[in-house]
Every structure is written in C-alpha cells, then in structure tokens.
A and B are shown apart, each in its own frame.
Chain A
Amino acid sequence: MSVGIHAFGGYVPKQRLQRKAIADANAWFNPGLRGLGRGERSMANWDEDAVTMAVEAARDALGGTGDEGIDAVYFASTSLPFQDRQNAGIIAEALHLGSNLLTMDVAGSQRAGTTALTAALKAAAGGDRVVVTGGEKRRTKSASPIELTAGDGAGAVVVAEGDGAAKLLGRATHAVDFVDHYRGQDEAYDYVWEERWIRDEGYLKIAPAAIAAALEDAGVGADDITHFCFPLAAARVAGMVAKKCGLSDESVRDNLQGKLGEAGSAQPLIMLVQALEDAKPGDKILVAGFGQGCDALVFEATDAITGAKPARGINGHMARRREVSNYNRFLGINNLVIMEQGLRSEVDKQTGLTTLFRNKEMILSLIGGKCSECGTLQYPKTNVCANPNCGAVNSQEDQPFSEMPAKLNSFTADSLTFSPDPPAFYGMVQFEDGGRSMLDVTDVDPDVGLEVGQPLRMMFRIKEFDTKRGFRRYFWKATPVTTQEGA
C-alpha cells in the first residue's frame, strides 16, 4: 500500500523585516553583515511562536479545525515554547482534534522537520493519518549572521495511506553526529562553527550520500527530479549539492532567502509545501533536511495535486505582507533589548491551571455554544442561553468559532493598556452566524487601522506572557482579512 501527502499548508508571519535595517544598525560592529543586508526576512509578531505558527499551517492544510479523522500530530521545532508540556498537545487542542490521538514533539536538530515527516510516513503505512507540522522562531543574537538569514514560519502536511496529492516514492536517512552548531541545555542562542567547513564537509558530503540513497530507494533518476528543496540559507550551496547529485539546475528551488529567510527545522516543510503548491501532476519532488546527518524524501505529485491546494499556503501567506524597517521593533518584541515597559505591565499574569484545564475547549479550541432550543450561537458557552427571548437552561451544544468569518462591530486603538506592541487593537467581534466577543485584534497595520464592519478571521495566538513563571497563555485573536491573501 502506498503512502503520500494528502493535504498541505503553510504559514508565514505578516511582518517582513528589511535586512538592510539590521545590517545598517550593526555595521559599526560587524561591517561584514552588510553582505547579508539584502531582501527581507519574516518576523513573527510578539504574540506568535513556533506553536501558534504551526497551528496556522496545520489549519491551512486541514482546511480548518475539528477534523475527526486524525490519528496523530507530530510537531517539529527547535524553538519549542515549552520544555516540559507537550507542544504538539497544544496544537492538537487548538485544532480540536479530540483526545484519541498520538501527539509528539520532534526536536533537537534542524533535521527535526524531515525526521517527523519520515516517521509519519512510516506510521501512515500502518494506517495512521498524521498531521506533521513544523514551526520555528529561532532566538538569535543581535548582530549575528543568523539574525539576518533566519526567518519565522511554519509548514504542515497531512500524510496517510494512499497516493494522495503526492505519493512517497522513496526515502533515506544518514545519521552523522556532525556538529556544525549546537545549543546546550539552558542556553538561549546557537554556537556556530566555521561556514566553509560546514559547507565542504557537511552539506557537500553528507547530503549527497543521503540523496543518492533516497533516489535509489525511489527508483528515480536524478535528472527526473523537477523540484529540489534544499533548505539552506547560504546562496549557491543547494546548486553545488544538486550538481554533485546529478540534479538539474532548474530543479533547484528558491530557498526563499530573499523573502522569508530560513525557518530552521520548519524550512524543509515550508519549501516542500510551496513546491506542492507549484507542482503539476507527475512532478517529482526531492526534499532534504540537514542536521547531524540528512533526511531525503522523494515524492511524485499525482492528478489529485490540482485539487489539493490550500486556502493560503506559503504563496498566499507571502502575499499577506507588511514591511518593517524598524530594527528596534524586532529587538523590542524579541526581548533583545531591555525596554521600559512601565508599571502597567506589572499586573500578575498567573494562570490557574485548573481554570485553564476546565475551560480548555473554550480557550484553546474556541468552542462556544449553540442553543438547541432557539439555535442562537454564543461565545463563550453559558448555562443560560444568551438570546434574551429564549433563556433556555443547559441547552448549549458545542459550537466551534475558529473558522467562522466575523465582522468588526466597534473597536479602538488603545495606547494606555500595556501591550508589547502598542497601541493595542481590540473590539467587538461579531461572528457571521451569530455570537460575538470583545477580542484582541492582531496584525493590524497601524497606518491602515480598523473600521466598523470590516471582515475579520480568527488566528491562534499568545494572549499573555507570565514572565515571572515562564508560562504563556494561548488564545484566539481576530485579524483583518486582507485582499492580498485572497481568502
């Protein structure tokens, strides 16, 4: 029985930091950074992390939340928000997949994305339908090359039995403890060895071996590959690897360095998803993931590929874009400088874990209620129906709101309340089929602002950081629907 990718989706945060701004600010210290000061990198908003981005990518792949046929969620990242609280579990909860499923974090290497995919494909052969999602928001030191080359983003694929939209033809992994960089326990930042050594002894030796093995396993000639996804920031290395493996120059896909940057372990999934968005039936896609060895996988797009395009995908999210030239904003929201946040930021943010658990569907899955007597929708669910003409007691059935279009009923831009990114936008969000809630609005372009009646959609975000206890609260926020992204 064949296995394949049945659905796919991606996510790129809206803000794009201009690399010139990073290079200009730091050239006094390291003039060499100017060489990397071209193009732009994606920049997660203050309320995004690897988990929230992975949720968005997975929603894009699944066409929403609440899919009941999922057996497992594998989450790949080297920037996991929690070291001990399963991050994949948060994602599964946000996706409202139920509790009868296997959830797993795959971490510890830039290869985590392809390793999770490999493991999922093996599980698919046993009959599982697995969501593989990778999200990355790497912490980087100011004035480090990686600050310029990295980007934030997420990709997701759903793998299962059957050819799907892209059938797995073959795969291989070479595991080699090649330490090009590392991050030890309790360390915030990567420690990186010399680039030339990494290129010559790493990429150009380890990757070709894994790729050759994967092509052999797939029974595909190197020159048959139409899309080669090699997720590496450094220019030209993918081409050198391709040449060494006999892959055509044309097959080497854009590493997205000009527009997005390298999103760590999520990058192979991001590039794979974009390749699937672009693929025609019959196209052969080779994706590699490098880190302490190399995973290589070969897929063939099927006739189903044309009908499998996600609502937004990587291409759609790339079009949802806001340029940021203020490097201080990046430093500020990533806690790379100590900002005076003011006394209003001192409100205690302790989260009652009992309260959260009891209400987790309401908070993490955005489940409200629908009155079985009068049909009125409401958020959150309450014992007594919100419809003043009904008032039925205990009549509420679960009603998901995360995928329902909404409109803005009233709003403000608040400069008084503490926000890591002032002003804080929030307003009365009114859902299309009924129900409303006073909610935060995120990713608002301050130059455009908001207006009454404008269309909104919901996104999974960080609500608050409890810096005292290392906790973060997740919840849903509204965001303006932009014309750029189509949907």
Chain B
Amino acid sequence: MASGIKDKVAILGMGCSKFGERWNDNAEDLMLEAFTEALEDAGIEKGQIDAAWFATAIEEQHVGKSGIPLAMALRLPYIPVTRVENYCASGSEAFRGAVYAVASGAADIALAVGVEKLKDTGYGGLPQRSRGALNDQFWSNNSAPGSFAQLASAYQAKHNVSRDDLKRAMAHISVKSHANGAKNPKAHLQKAIDEDRVMNAPMIAEPLGLFDCCGVSDGSACAIVTTPEIAKSLGKTDLITVKALQLSVSNGTEAQHNSWDGSYFMTTRVAAGKAYEEAGIKNAREEVSLVEVHDCFSVTELVTMEDLQLSPEGGAIKDIMDGFYDADGDIPCQIDGGLKCFGHPIGASGLRMLYEMYLQMQGRAGPRQRDDTPVFGVTHNLGGFPHQNVCAVCVVGQDGA
C-alpha cells in the first residue's frame, strides 16, 4: 500500500467567514473574508502561496466556472488555480488538492478555498437543477431531503426500529446541534430548540421535518497548508497535521445492484476504513476525539455514526440518546453546530469542518472549546445522494500523535 499522507502536511492557517444569509455580500466578499483570516493566522504574505484549489459546486448561482473567480477575488499573483467540484464534498477536494501538492513537493505552501452563495435562488433549500440530459429523463423527481429521507425507511426496516424511536433520535441530533450552534458566533443558526419543536415541525420529505434539515447558507472557508518543516521554520509550534485523506466514489453498485440495502453509505464505510488505516487508528470509538460529519439531514448523521465505526451497526440510536455525541459526551459530533446550524455553503463545508478541528486542537474554540484537547479529529464530507455519492473522510491531529 502507498505510504499515505500521515504527518507529511501541516495546517499553517485557516479562516472561515460568518455563515448565513449574507444578503449584502457577493461570493468574492466571502472568499476575501475567509482568506484574510487564514493569511493572518498563517503569518505569511500572499506571494508565498505557490498554488491554489478552489471549490464551489453551484457556480451558476454566483461566480461562474473556472479558477479565475478565486484568482480575481484575492488578486493571486498568476499562480495555478484549479477549480474543483464534487457535489457537496467539493471543499474536501480543494483541501486534498492543496495537501497533495505540498506532499509531492510541487508546492511549499498551498491554498484551498471553498465558497457558495446559495441564498440568491429566491427560495429556501438547495436549488434544483438539471442532473444531466439523460438523467433528467429517468431519475426520480428527487430533492436532497427526499433522497436522504429514504435512509430512514431502509434503516427502520433493516433494524426493526419504530418510526417514533428513529424520529426521536433524529430530533436529539438536531437539538444537540442547535445547542452547539448557539455557542458559535459564526454559525448561521444560533438558536437553541427543544425536541417538541423538532418533532412537530412541518414535513419536508417523510420522515424529515424542517428541523431535520440543515441550513442552506452563504459562506466561505479556507486553509493554507505546508510541510511541518516549513511550518516550524515559520515559527509554528504544536502543529496540526493531516493524518489521512480518503475519498470513495460510488460506481453505481448502490443504484443498480441489489446488494445494497439502502440503510447506510457504502462509500463512507470504504473511505473510513482506509482513512483509519492511513492514520494508524485501530479502534475509532476509542481513539477519535472529535468528529465533524456531513449532517445534511439528521438521519444522515445517525447512520454515519455507524459507518464511521463509532457506533456498532444498529447501535447509533442508543449512543445518540445516551448523549455519547453531545458536546460533553465521549465523542462530540458537530461541536460547532455542524451543517445543521453552522450552515452549509456547499463548497465551503468540508473546509469549515477542518476549521473547527483546527480551532479545537489549538484551544481556540471559545465558549464551545472542549476541555480535553482533542488528539484525532475526523471530518466526513458527503456529496450526492445515498444511492450514488462521493464521500471524503479526513483525519487531522496533533503532530506526532
């Protein structure tokens, strides 16, 4: 097997804009906001960046195609800028590009920026667009919530769980994320809610109600990466390094072959298994300190706890109800509010997850700071639909861990 990415690349600086309904800002404003914070955090000059990766998914809604919008927004000095798109996992793709460039030695310092302007559609929720000329002629009329909602029916059938028990565990997830988001000044949604409100919310796609769905936001997040040696030479101590970067992409088995039961993510299981191996993690439940997952919908978070080997298969509901994933639990999940409350500006989300890991590991997370400094953090960034998706799993941690 390849030697992997472990400890070859360190995070030099990170930034994240305020997420939310940024009615008066363009994507360029958001990118600059995130970048300015990251550059200052890194303590370098713009001219020291060798190459950049730019993630955005629904570019028709804001900047249009190519790497040019990033280069123009930041006035990058004619360096390579690669635009990446991999559904909602685009942000992790930008990070992967930058990290691999540094690891290969092609760049000393690389930049990853993700951005999305989703509040210019005129309606709530993710925009619905053409899925491709032929797909449009046979795909079901599915929205994002409707696709993910099906995890619930399949999970119930497989594990013989009542709709009520599942719905209550899903509600616990959302209540928890709202409580976390309330402590995050950059979060889109900063209001705590109670379980009744979740349970009685209007139905979006059975059984997902309004509060089972994440916020759809404007926002940008940014990472500057380099080698541990260069980071140290720039005066950095207590480095946060990349332990693993894995990506798994559906090949049509889930969509076309009856071997998949619809209750879990094949991609997440593959990516997580490889990521733990790459990071040298033997027992995820014991070793992972913090997790930021792609909680586009409450039920996604629920099944992902099992796919990431944190809960035993069929055991997520018990762990969730026991508070295992609460901010003061054994493995906090979405301690920053997650997609649910921090918000989900598609291209930025994967980088936003890493931003929180970076803050928590440096003890800079303010009122939501975890008492025990996390050692290993796992980010999980999905794109697509349960039956055909891309899944990025990233492990970051304290240098030397």
B141–A424 touching, CB < 8 Å? yes
Shortest Cβ distance from B257 into A: residue = A386
A151 CB-CB contact with B under 8 Å: no
Known contacts A355-B137, A475-B137, A475-B138; A411/B150 CB under 8 A: yes
A215 CB → nearest B CB, Å: 50
- Give A7 to B208 CA distance when docked, in angstroms: 47
B257–A388 touching, CB < 8 Å? yes
B137–A414 touching, CB < 8 Å? no
B287 CB-CB contact with A under 8 Å: no
- Cβ-defined partner of B150 (8 Å) among A412, A416, A440: A412
A359–B134 touching, CB < 8 Å? yes
- Cβ-defined partner of B137 (8 Å) among A359, A387, A418, A424: A359
B137–A412 touching, CB < 8 Å? no
- Cβ-defined partner of A386 (8 Å) among B125, B153, B154, B252: B252
- Give A404 to B142 CA distance when docked, in angstroms: 23
A338 CB-CB contact with B under 8 Å: no
Of A113-121, A128-136, A309-317, A346-354, which stretch is located at the interface?
A: A346-354
Provide the residues of chain A in CB contact with B205, threshold 8 Å: 412-417, 423
B252–A426 touching, CB < 8 Å? no
- Chain B residue total in the interface (Cβ 8 A): 46
- Greatest chain B CB density within 10 A among A344, A382, A453 is at A344
A419 CB-CB contact with B under 8 Å: yes
A363–B137 touching, CB < 8 Å? yes
B23 CB-CB contact with A under 8 Å: no
B203 CB-CB contact with A under 8 Å: yes
Of A18-26, A229-237, A429-437, which stretch is located at the interface?
A: A429-437
Shortest Cβ distance from B251 into A: residue = A388
Provide the residues of chain B in CB contact with A418, threshold 8 Å: 128, 141
A473–B146 touching, CB < 8 Å? no
- Give A342 to B128 CA distance when docked, in angstroms: 12
Contact with B along A179-207 (1 / 0, CB 8 A): 00000000000000000000000000000
A388–B256 touching, CB < 8 Å? no
- Give A386 to B337 CA distance when docked, in angstroms: 38
B146–A347 touching, CB < 8 Å? no
Given contacts A426-B140, A438-B147, A453-B157, 17 further A-B contacts (CB under 8 A): A347-B128, A348-B130, A378-B256, A387-B257, A409-B261, A414-B142, A416-B146, A417-B128, A417-B141, A418-B141, A423-B203, A426-B142, A435-B258, A438-B255, A438-B385, A438-B387, A452-B154
Provide the residues of chain A in CB contact with B128, threshold 8 Å: 344, 347, 417-418
- Give A365 to B257 CA distance when docked, in angstroms: 21
A299 CB-CB contact with B under 8 Å: no
B262 CB-CB contact with A under 8 Å: yes
A380–B138 touching, CB < 8 Å? yes
B262–A428 touching, CB < 8 Å? yes
Interface residues of B in 104-144 (CB under 8 A from A): 121-123, 125, 128-130, 133-134, 136-143
B156–A452 touching, CB < 8 Å? yes
Q: Is the interface of B mostly helix, strand, loop or mixed?
A: loop
- Give A379 to B257 CA distance when docked, in angstroms: 9
B257–A439 touching, CB < 8 Å? no
Shortest Cβ distance from A358 into B: residue = B134
Provide the residues of chain B in CB contact with A436, threshold 8 Å: 255-258
Provide the residues of chain A in CB contact with B252, threshold 8 Å: 382, 386
A430–B258 touching, CB < 8 Å? yes
- Greatest chain B CB density within 10 A among A380, A423, A426 is at A426
Interface residues of A in 119-147 (CB under 8 A from B): none
Selected A-B contacts with CB under 8 Å, 11 pairs: A343-B121, A386-B253, A386-B257, A412-B208, A413-B206, A417-B142, A418-B141, A426-B141, A426-B146, A434-B258, A438-B255
B321 CB-CB contact with A under 8 Å: no
Provide the residues of chain B in CB contact with A387, threshold 8 Å: 257
B151 CB-CB contact with A under 8 Å: yes
Contact with A along B377-401 (1 / 0, CB 8 A): 0000000010100000000000000
- Cβ-defined partner of A452 (8 Å) among B143, B149, B157: B157
A334 CB-CB contact with B under 8 Å: no
Shortest Cβ distance from A477 into B: residue = B140
7 closest Cβ pairs, A-B complex: A414-B146, A426-B140, A410-B150, A417-B143, A412-B149, A386-B256, A452-B157
- Greatest chain A CB density within 10 A among B149, B150, B253 is at B150
- Greatest chain B CB density within 10 A among A388, A413, A414, A423 is at A414
Contact with A along B198-210 (1 / 0, CB 8 A): 0000111110100
A406 CB → nearest B CB, Å: 11
A438–B139 touching, CB < 8 Å? yes
Shortest Cβ distance from B121 into A: residue = A343
- Cβ-defined partner of B146 (8 Å) among A349, A352, A356, A424: A424
- Give A413 to B261 CA distance when docked, in angstroms: 19
- Give A140 to B217 CA distance when docked, in angstroms: 46
Provide the residues of chain B in CB contact with A475, threshold 8 Å: 137-138
B259–A414 touching, CB < 8 Å? no
A416–B133 touching, CB < 8 Å? no
Provide the residues of chain B in CB contact with A430, threshold 8 Å: 258
B137–A416 touching, CB < 8 Å? no
A252 CB-CB contact with B under 8 Å: no
B145 CB-CB contact with A under 8 Å: yes
- Give A435 to B141 CA distance when docked, in angstroms: 20
A389 CB → nearest B CB, Å: 9
A414–B145 touching, CB < 8 Å? yes
- Give A89 to B84 CA distance when docked, in angstroms: 44
Provide the residues of chain B in CB contact with A419, threshold 8 Å: 141
Contact with B along A447-487 (1 / 0, CB 8 A): 00101110000000001100000000101000000000000
Provide the residues of chain B in CB contact with A355, threshold 8 Å: 133-134, 137
B149–A414 touching, CB < 8 Å? yes
B256–A410 touching, CB < 8 Å? no
Shortest Cβ distance from A345 into B: residue = B128
A376 CB-CB contact with B under 8 Å: yes
Provide the residues of chain A in CB contact with B251, threshold 8 Å: 388
- Cβ-defined partner of B140 (8 Å) among A349, A409, A439: A439
Provide the residues of chain A in CB contact with B129, threshold 8 Å: 347
A366 CB → nearest B CB, Å: 9
Provide the residues of chain A in CB contact with B153, threshold 8 Å: 410-412, 427, 451-452
Provide the residues of chain B in CB contact with A212, threshold 8 Å: none
- Give A429 to B206 CA distance when docked, in angstroms: 17
- Give A438 to B387 CA distance when docked, in angstroms: 8
Contact with B along A36-50 (1 / 0, CB 8 A): 000000000000000
